Amino acid sequence: MVFSGISFLYYFLPLMAAIYFISPNRLKNVVLLAGSLVFYAWGEPKNVFLMAASILTGYGFGLLEEKYRERRLGQMCCVCSVAISVFILIFFKFSFFSVAFPAGISFYTFQMISYAADVQRGMKAQKNLVSLGTYIAMFPQLIAGPIVRYSDISGQLCDRTHSFELAAEGIRRFVTGLAKKVLLADQLWELCSEFRGSGEKSILFYWLYALASALYIYYDFSGYSDMAIGLGRIFGFHFPENFNYPYISGSVTEFWRRWHISLGSWFRDYVYIPLGGSRAGVRRQAVNILIVWTLTGFWHGAAWNFILWGLCSAVLLILEKRFLLAALKKSRVCSHIYTLVFVLVSFVIFHAGNLNEAYSDILGLFGAGGIPAVSPEALYCFRNFAPVLLLGMAGATPVVRNAAVRLSGHPSYGRILNLFEPVFLAALLFAATAYLIGGSFHPFLYFRF
């Protein structure tokens, strides 16, 4: 089951919310856990047992960690818990095992690892198995994040606030994310598909594809994150933000601080800093960055284009920290252009089916192979998809948000905006539903990670 599906929007979610809110507080986690397992089992019933096994082993090791924290046995329990999670992830991640890949496993195993690490660092272990299961299996962020650390919501698992205002805020955020996914990401995917099926490649077409794929990945993933955060608000949880307008960045370093924030901070706190971070000198810092970004590539998939993407990102980050950041600060315009070019090229590598395709796409961006600058099909696609590309570029900046904030603070326009907002959200929901009924849905990209 997926958020952008009719069965979820009009059957599962209303029924789930009704049962949840009429249940007494002591049973809300039970209802949420049961509903989350149904949500996951809807498409992959066999993999529920794998998740249940992960929860049970993590629960047992967590109790032992806390009990023997000051002894070597406590450390060994933490190592065993992390090792089991890593083994499960590697077993399913690498295609040579020829085993079906469970949706969302990259996210919930990372949450289990963070739980084990947080307990070892001094947090109390979760004594209530249902509460820990709710944390790991919670359907709003189960399939594609954001990666929610146990330390972020441990208190909310026991005591959280529900209100009409929070529910309204959650609905607003969910509908916005749904529109980003269905009305923007899925349409940008159509342009990417047109490019792949074209026999008339040109330099313009390659750059249109690069722009469309970068925006598609952004709206697909940030749309899901918005929906997850919105659902969390409805059920009383406050999940961390996952994107902060990354395409306005003035360096690749800044870009990765704004993109997939929960993953970047996870690797920083559980891998980069424990390895020594920047404390052990410049060379060691460079090695640590390479390790982190190689692991980031592997996390996205056991394919060489992901590894290459991770290594390219690492090299750019190292070069910026050593040489480029001071120069980039001198001109915001030049630094922004530099960042966009490298990000677009990196996402061409990321979005490719394999290394050969990535190599061919990069050559095409720069006109290798004697391809023309412009082709009739590229011009057709440019005209056809110009509105969604322009809307996508505008929406990837804070311009729309800032304008809405300014208008909401105006005594007259603010009242009009408040009256208009429910109508606008209803229109977005109606339009997204129409697209879904029309069969134009495309699965979330991060379901395969």
CA dist., res. 262 & res. 147, Å (int): 5
Compute the C-alpha angle 184/42/130, nearest 5°.
Answer: 105
CA dist., res. 84 & res. 81, Å (int): 5
Nearest Cα residue to 173 out of 100, 95, 124, 228: 228
N-to-C CA span, the chain: 16
CA dist., res. 20 & res. 382, Å (int): 47
What is the torsional sign of CA 35, 39, 40, 41?
positive
Sequence-distant contacts of 194-201: CB under 8 A, at least 24 apart: 194/377, 194/381, 195/381, 198/377, 200/375, 200/376, 200/377, 200/378, 201/364, 201/371, 201/375
Q: What is the radius of gyration, based on Cα positions, of the chain?
A: 23
CB 113 within 8 A of CB 270: yes
Q: Which residue has the tokens 């993999």?
A: 47
Compute the C-alpha angle 264/269/273, nearest 5°.
Answer: 115
Contacts of 267 (CB under 8 A, 6+ apart): 292, 295, 296
Active site residues: 300
Compute the C-alpha angle 398/404/408, nearest 5°.
Answer: 145
CA dist., res. 207 & res. 205, Å (int): 5
One-letter identity of residue 78: C
CB 51 within 8 A of CB 108: yes
DSSP string across 150-192: HHHHHHHHH-----HHHHHHHHHHHHHHHHIIIIIIHHHHHHH
Q: What are phi and psi of 362, to 5 degrees?
A: -65, -40
